[in-house]
Structure 1
């Protein structure tokens, strides 16, 4: 099974009429795609009422990939004791419980920052984290290339397999130490996650420029690039039961278009045809 979606549901103009209420967007989104990445959870630990609402606004077979709170993935420079980390993780897990009860969590995505390099203390932290969230499917994404250096790559993949981490395969700019190569290696026989970040090398690294966080994902995949990916995805299907694909290249509004394009290449239809859906709203 292959499920394709995008990051967030609010900013994909192709899916909505100009005056569509933000309260209706998730339910409309779910007619196009069966899965979404929830990234609001990265910026704060949200009230449980938010997750209750989102569970009710989506079909029974809809799935969320929930991006872990940034304090848990060490994006903050603030020091926290082990007990403080445990409390923070506990609060985060409690907040998402309504989606777990609704059986709509495909996994929790732990995306680590560029300074989270391949060293013993970080391996130990991953083990600690896995123990704390053991009842949930956990997806691991690195932003530091050292994990996939030739002397570490086999150990990194073996670690993920042994510890129960779902490898997040990335398509992103090859822009030095703060980016990772595309490693077509599932570490979980049930689920594999693929995230498309675009290939904007200049935007990825140029953190000093205005609106850097938006510009870094400014990229539109062309037909040839997606056709190559379609072939790779079909090969990956032989190694894992389900592949979840999320497009994050939405700085220019390209994510939804590219997601629909890849669905067509793979012969996937979710709900009514695109032309029928666009005429509904």
Structure 2
């Protein structure tokens, strides 16, 4: 099993604080610097506006071909749920430079908590997965009504990746377990800030949480149990606020290696080298 570990987004200004990885780094060099620390990233910008071909070309170049990109579906697919044919065309075609560079990971469909398991929503999800047939699609379903074995069996039948989450213990959401619905696994660790999960005014507030070593060990144990079931596993830490993820990822790597799940640490990539590539 090849394990890719990264963060939710790479344009985190929090990381320019003293002692963190972007200290003294220009914004245009963030991705090149990121590529020296992590081998995967979950692209957040595509949720708000689908980047064009040139933007994706720049991502492949600046990362030196060393980072796998999980591309989040635009909100028109998951929150508005009214995509046009043009939206589908752009979402499918724009990341082509990543495919050509061999660094395209799964698409991520991040549905909101309000997306319950109703007949209408089940039909919508079926239509969406049909439109992305032939591409790896990971689906995060935040309402507990979806957290059922029959849902995962259906996803496995249609080749859809179940996103295994770690949420704060506030109830009403899927349990923190690693579930396998195919050859690729996908984990999103959101932190456990129960005080700000519902009341937080921003994603940074909700994700203001640093895991302790015991919590990282807990996830390493769960990952080790499914090592023989997967060829690839993507693990993304969403707790990027204040650099929490930067501290937690080395903990997780160490815990996985200790359990016989090999995880490598990237070597730093020179900024000029990244530009040339």
TM class, shorter-length: 0.7 to 0.9
CA contact (8 A) 1:174 1:180 kept: no
CA contact (8 A) 1:86 1:132 kept: no
Q: Do structure 1's residue 249 and structure 2's residue 239 form an aligned pair? A: yes
TM-score (norm 1): 0.86
Instruction: Output the aligned Cα RMSD.
Output: 2.0
Shift of 1:265: 2.0
Q: Do structure 1's residue 4 and structure 2's residue 5 form an aligned pair? A: yes
Q: Secondary structure at the match of 1:2?
A: strand
Unaligned runs of 5+ in 1: none
TM-score (norm 2): 0.87
1:172–1:158 distance in 2 versus 1, CA, 3 Å:
same
The one of the two structures with greater contact order (alpha-carbon pairs below 8 A, sep at least 6) is 2
- Structure 1 counterpart of 2:179, from 179, 185, 189: 185
Q: Do structure 1's residue 154 and structure 2's residue 149 form an aligned pair? A: yes
CA contact (8 A) 1:55 1:99 kept: yes
CA contact (8 A) 2:42 2:69 kept: yes
CA distance, structure 2, for counterparts of residue 228 and residue 174 of structure 1 = 15
Q: Secondary structure at the match of 2:228?
A: coil
Aligned length: 260
1:17–1:118 distance in 2 versus 1, CA, 3 Å:
closer
CA contact (8 A) 1:37 1:66 kept: yes
In structure 2, the residue matched to 1:199 is: 192
CA contact (8 A) 1:55 1:104 kept: yes
Q: Do structure 1's residue 59 and structure 2's residue 59 form an aligned pair? A: no
Q: Secondary structure at the match of 1:195?
A: strand
CA distance, structure 1, for counterparts of residue 84 and residue 115 of structure 2 = 17
Q: Secondary structure at the match of 1:233?
A: helix
